[in-house]
Amino acid sequence: MPKIYLVDVTNRDGVQTARLGLSKLEKTLVNMYLNDMGVYQSEFGFPTTRHESNYLQANLELAEKGVINSLRLEGWIRATVGDVDEAFRLVPNLKHLNLSISTSNQMIEGKFQGRKDKKDIIADMTRAVDHAKELGAASIGVNSEDASRSDLDYLIEFGNAAKEHGAERFRYCDTLGYDNPFTIYDTAKRLAKEIGIGIEIHCHGDLGMAVANSIAGAAGAVDGGQDAFINTTVNGIGERAGNADLVAVILAITKSKGFADKYQLGGNVSLSKAWKIAKFAAYAFGIPIPINQPGVGANAFAHESGIHADGVLKDPENYELYGYEELGLGEPVLVETGRQICTGEYSGISGFRHVMSQLGGEEVTFANDDEARRVLELVRYANVESQHPLVEDELLFIAKYPDITTKLLTFNP
Ligand SMILES: [Zn+2]
């Protein structure tokens, strides 16, 4: 029985969103949390963008060291031979790639303005797939941008050409959030049947249906006989109205009426880090979690009205579909109201040693003052990039992996 896998695109679609961004250390922490949650793949960045090179290589090193041990790291580029060349020139240890090109008449005519037709699009894509294979790509997915406004027979032709040239997945991008659960189910089923490789479902929330469309599309792909790969982002952050929220997608697959009886998540996905990753992304992006966010919003488990409060006190299942503990909620949050020593870009060694000795989880000790000073220097640089105090997991990461951190923080414009 085919399964549904999660491909998180926070570090690509999330960070390319207007007004929003993450530091390279924050992107790395997102990958670490996704790995801990059992997410199948992270679209971890842009291999042709020069300021990403060291970050991408550093994360591939984390995978080589086994620190990121189950998450597949995949880079997103345009489906052109030039982009493939540039990606492997800048990030030689890259293994997994997604190659994207527009497939709708609207975009082919609107973007290329007569310079390319539908045949050229398929020719460009297959040349890019061939070249990525020549340069050593271990896996290749092809993305059909604006697939929901593309002709379905053309998508099938496009997907089959990709498969013949060695692509292992076809990404159906509902770039404008135009689909609804009924249309995307039928489309994904037909694509799965007629192309015969894994189908990725990439949805946006312009009509408020990103999560619903994602699971409907995944169901269609599975019913068509292929594995489905849902694209998510943490807190649904993404272009315009956003993408399918990671936590909500997991909840929808595992908790919605009868769904899990027919369709199962692949891998070892755990919700126990849901609160942690949502809270971290909100802090890092500087965008609070909406009060009504599924699972992790402040009101997700809050009850006030008489009938609801009475009911939930008698039995939580009266008004809750799932327990807060499952999402890693329930621990009290301590807020220091007295003296605080912060670490930032101008911190000194004494304050830094104090902060590192106060961390909750793991004890951090330094062999000598030189080592402590080296880590402090990295913390300062990380702060220059993020411009807000680093969280505990970031400080621990820097102390544990100073060489990787040095790479993350190195830019050569
Ligand atoms: Zn998108």
Is there a single domain that holds both residue 89 and residue 188? yes
Residue where a domain stops, chosen among 245, 275, 305:
275
Residues whose beta carbons lie less than 5 angstroms from ion ligand 1: 13
Give the pLDDT band of residue 344 (cuts 50, 70, 90). confident
Residue 280 lies in a domain: no
Give the pLDDT band of residue 354 (cuts 50, 70, 90). confident
Residue 359 lies in a domain: yes
**For the chain, how many structural domains are there in total?**
2
**pLDDT tens sequence across 145-189:** 999 999 999 999 999 999 999 999 999 999 999 999 999 999 999
Tell me which amino acid residue 384 is.
V
Residue where a domain stops, chosen among 275, 306, 323:
275
- The whole-number pLDDT of residue 162 equals 98
Give the pLDDT band of residue 357 (cuts 50, 70, 90). confident
pLDDT > 90: what percent of the chain? Answer: 82
**pLDDT tens sequence across 193-205:** 999 999 999 999 9
User: Please, where are the H alpha helices in 165-245?
Assistant: 181-195, 210-223
Give the domain range for residue 383. 349-408
Residue 276: pLDDT over 90: yes
* Residue/partner pairs of 321-328 with CB below 8 Å, 24 or more apart: 321/255, 322/251, 322/255, 322/295, 324/300, 326/271, 326/272, 327/247, 327/271, 327/272, 327/274, 327/275, 327/295, 327/296, 328/271, 328/272, 328/273, 328/274, 328/275, 328/276
Residue 283: pLDDT over 70: yes
**pLDDT tens sequence across 94-132:** 999 999 999 999 999 888 888 999 999 999 999 999 999
Residue 360: pLDDT over 80: no
Give the pLDDT band of residue 346 (cuts 50, 70, 90). confident
- The whole-number pLDDT of residue 224 equals 98
Q: What pTM does this model have?
A: 0.96
Q: How far is the CA of 378 from the centre of ligand 1 (A)?
A: 33
- The whole-number pLDDT of residue 329 equals 96
**pLDDT tens sequence across 379-390:** 999 999 999 999
Asked whether the beta carbons of 373 and 338 are under 8 A apart, the reply is: no
First-residue to last-residue Cα distance in the chain: 49
- The whole-number pLDDT of residue 366 equals 85
Name the residue among 329, 327, 392 with its Cα closest to residue 37. 327
In CATH, what number is assigned to the domain containing residue 186? 3.20.20.70
Q: How far is the CA of 204 from the centre of ligand 1 (A)?
A: 6
- The whole-number pLDDT of residue 339 equals 85
Q: How far is the CA of 201 from the centre of ligand 1 (A)?
A: 10
**pLDDT tens sequence across 70-90:** 999 999 999 999 999 999 999
Residue where a domain stops, chosen among 234, 259, 275:
275
Whose structure tokens read 């006030």? 304
Q: How far is the CA of 245 from the centre of ligand 1 (A)?
A: 12
Residue 341 lies in a domain: no
333: buried, middle or exposed (CB in 10 Å: 19+, 13-18, 0-12)?
A: exposed
Average pLDDT for 303-331: 92
Q: How far is the CA of 391 from the centre of ligand 1 (A)?
A: 28
Residue 375 lies in a domain: yes
Give the pLDDT band of residue 242 (cuts 50, 70, 90). very high
pLDDT, the chain, mean: 95
Residue 43 lies in a domain: yes
Q: How far is the CA of 235 from the centre of ligand 1 (A)?
A: 14
Residue 362: pLDDT over 80: no
Residue 342 lies in a domain: no
Residue 54 lies in a domain: yes
Is there a single domain that holds both residue 35 and residue 143? yes
Q: How far is the CA of 65 from the centre of ligand 1 (A)?
A: 31
Is there a single domain that holds both residue 249 and residue 360? no
CA 272, CA 267: separation in Å to the nearest integer? Answer: 15
- The whole-number pLDDT of residue 335 equals 83
Tokens of 328: 């890693």
Is there a single domain that holds both residue 400 and residue 263? no
Torsion-angle region of 188 (φ positive above 0: left; ψ -120 to 50: alpha; else: beta): alpha
Residue 175 lies in a domain: yes
- The whole-number pLDDT of residue 252 equals 98
- The whole-number pLDDT of residue 323 equals 96
Q: How far is the CA of 18 from the centre of ligand 1 (A)?
A: 13
DSSP helix/strand/coil, 6: strand
Q: How far is the CA of 13 from the centre of ligand 1 (A)?
A: 6
Q: How far is the CA of 279 from the centre of ligand 1 (A)?
A: 22
Q: How far is the CA of 238 from the centre of ligand 1 (A)?
A: 7
Q: How far is the CA of 14 from the centre of ligand 1 (A)?
A: 8
Average pLDDT for 255-263: 97
Asked whether the beta carbons of 296 and 327 are under 8 A apart, the reply is: yes
DSSP letters along 28-77, please?
Answer: HHHHHHHHHHT-SEEEEE-TTSGGGHHHHHHHHHHHHTTSS-SPEEEEEE
